[in-house]
Chains A and B, each alone.
Chain A
């Protein structure tokens, strides 16, 4: 049984936010009107967290794309009174939209604040509803939603593999965000398969997990930026 995980190489990420828009497009995440955005109610399953340090002209800024981290010990699934969220055998923290009663306990329990809530009925003005993905449900008002690692893509990939009578290969199933990254900064695969790129990167000395000390065991692993050193690019003349 694979244990799905993701690795994000912060050295390669350009903070272009293509992952954010791809996720919204793939998963029927509605846009909110500007007034709602001003009240901090933008719905995005993956978001960039900026952290600026220093003073002009000595500044550094860390920009981290953070989806649901699909923890192996998620604090959120414990607190749902109706079991609308839980972790499936392959490690994906599922969200059952049709059962959620909207109490928002899970949104408060997540230490990464990676769950969002539908404050209003989602709107798809004009013909935006034409662009809805039929593989993903459209959530009604009042339910919590979050990244599902594009679980619908897993189901489709499995079906295709079964139809072609072959096992699921690496690269058959990638979430929309990982697929679209132009810098190739995101990797996805089976953490339990020692040969997969994700598992290898997870063993890298640059790898770290966010808020690791809380014991959530997130399955999205970050690779620290790293540094350039003159030893790596100096060369004699051509």
Chain B
């Protein structure tokens, strides 16, 4: 027994198994706090079910508010995982190895909260099944249902497949819940044939997941884009939302990585270079996002159509100006300032930028949804929209529950893909050397360690 634990402790990457093996008391305290927020949200939800949607701050004409903002926001974050890890895999970017698992988990978990946000927004959630029984395929919301279901399925598979070797490792480790790991590991024994199939499957999924992911946030944007409402009916909404999704996704990933790095002592695996690379990606997305936002607003301004200008000015100088300009600062000014210089593109720097981005992107969703609704084409009575405790409680509860579930995941599964890190250590270096050699003139592409 003693020997076994010694052996375990001396395993390379033993720290990656540490969260599964042992749980500190801080976990329980944090879990309790988060579950407290969850129960508050649950209470708010039950209250809303019993009273009606009137307990929110919604009114005429602002029929959508915080809940739909959350929906778009959470679905946006879901692009973190799958898209990032899929793209990085396809590009053979070696620095992805420690990141992919953390990213994929974000995706799978947050999709539930995205869907949950829509469900709590329904006036009749008890009639939810009508969506399956009487679908109207001309409705963008129904495209959402299909697309998100597909994405959830694909992402789950895409999370599960690379998890299999780690599950096998856990099965063989002989700790708690071995039976659980055995079932999930599907009899993985690491043979060449299995590895080949696995790699093939992962590659196929990586290719499939990308268009699915893009379609998800495109159809979410089309919920707004397919109406005729001013500043919703915009042709660039599809790509704009996808860019925004990837943007907030990367930011969420950075935050998650920084947290698990600190809490689980993964400094060796999540190094400044990872944050640096992700920070560069974040910078690119920030610039792209700004480009789209600028184009969107400039064309509206030039178009000079009265109905559009009313919404436009309500965002730039009117009641929503504070939110709008905060969004610009938090989505563009702060991130670009921090990420464009290598000196500030540190772990801390990228985390600050990411937090700023996430706040900004939530504001961005809000300033897309609410100003258009509050300035309808026909000038009916104005009612200001301000969220009530129910909406705020549910939002915080959703966030807390998400964090809790993420934490729970780390307790049962390794948050860094162990076998991929090992693979990187063992096989990736020579592969990369060979690859680079193949680019350069005068050498024949060879594999192996000839000119080490």
Q: Could you tell me which A residues sit within 8 Å of B by CB distance?
A: 36, 39-42, 47, 49, 51, 66, 75, 78-84, 99-105, 107-109, 111-113, 116-121, 140-144, 210-211, 214
Contacts and interface: CB of A to CB of B under 8 A. Distances in A.
Interface string B381-401: 111000000000000000000
A48 to B, nearest CB: 10
A84 B130 CA distance: 10
Contact of B123 (A80, A101, A109): A101
B376 interface: yes
Contacts of B229: 108-109, 111
B15 interface: no
B377 A211 contact: yes
Residue of A66, A108, A117 contacting most chain B CB atoms (<10 Å): A108
Interface stretch (B137-145, B254-262, B273-281, B342-350): B137-145
B7 to A, nearest CB: 56
Contacts of B130: 82, 84, 99, 101
A102 B124 contact: yes
Contacts of B123: 100-104, 117-118, 141-144
Nearest to A51: B379
Interface residues of B, number: 44
A112 B139 contact: no
What's the dominant secondary structure at chain B's contact region?
loop
B17 to A, nearest CB: 45
Residue of A82, A84, A143 contacting most chain B CB atoms (<10 Å): A82
A111 B60 CA distance: 13
Given A101-B122, A120-B52, A79 B140 contact: yes
Interface in B93-119: 118
A108 B226 CA distance: 11
A189 to B, nearest CB: 25
Contact of B139 (A47, A80, A144): A80
B197 interface: no
Given A100-B123, A142-B53, A112 B58 contact: no
Contacts of B228: 75, 109, 111, 214
Nearest to B382: A40
26 contacts: A40-B381, A41-B60, A49-B378, A75-B228, A79-B141, A81-B131, A82-B127, A84-B134, A99-B130, A100-B124, A101-B122, A105-B223, A107-B63, A108-B63, A108-B64, A108-B227, A108-B373, A112-B377, A113-B60, A113-B376, A116-B60, A118-B123, A120-B51, A121-B52, A142-B123, A211-B378
Contact of B136 (A83, A100, A107, A214): A83
A35 B73 CA distance: 32
A171 B435 CA distance: 84
B383 A40 contact: yes
B378 to A, nearest CB: 6
Contacts of B58: 119
B442 interface: no
Given A82-B131, A100-B124, A119-B54, 5 more contacts: A42-B60, A47-B380, A81-B131, A119-B52, A141-B52
Residue of B124, B376, B383 contacting most chain A CB atoms (<10 Å): B124
Contacts of B178: none
Residue of B122, B128, B145, B382 contacting most chain A CB atoms (<10 Å): B122
B61 interface: yes
Contact of A113 (B54, B61, B121, B136): B61
A44 to B, nearest CB: 10
Given A105-B139, A142-B52, A79 B227 contact: yes
B227 A82 contact: no
Contacts of B51: 120
A39 B123 CA distance: 18
A214 B128 CA distance: 32
B18 interface: no
Contacts of B226: 78-79
A82 B136 contact: yes
Contacts of A113: 60-61, 376-378, 380
B59 interface: yes
A182 B136 CA distance: 42
Nearest to A103: B122
B135 interface: yes
B72 to A, nearest CB: 14
Given A49-B380, A79-B140, A101-B122, A117 B63 contact: yes
Contacts of B141: 79, 81, 103, 105
Contacts of B138: 78-79
B289 to A, nearest CB: 25
A82 B229 CA distance: 21
A101 B135 CA distance: 12
Contacts of A79: 138-141, 226-227
A78 B143 CA distance: 12
A142 B49 CA distance: 10
A1 to B, nearest CB: 23
A36 B141 CA distance: 29
A103 B54 CA distance: 14
B311 to A, nearest CB: 13
Contact of A49 (B60, B127, B379): B379
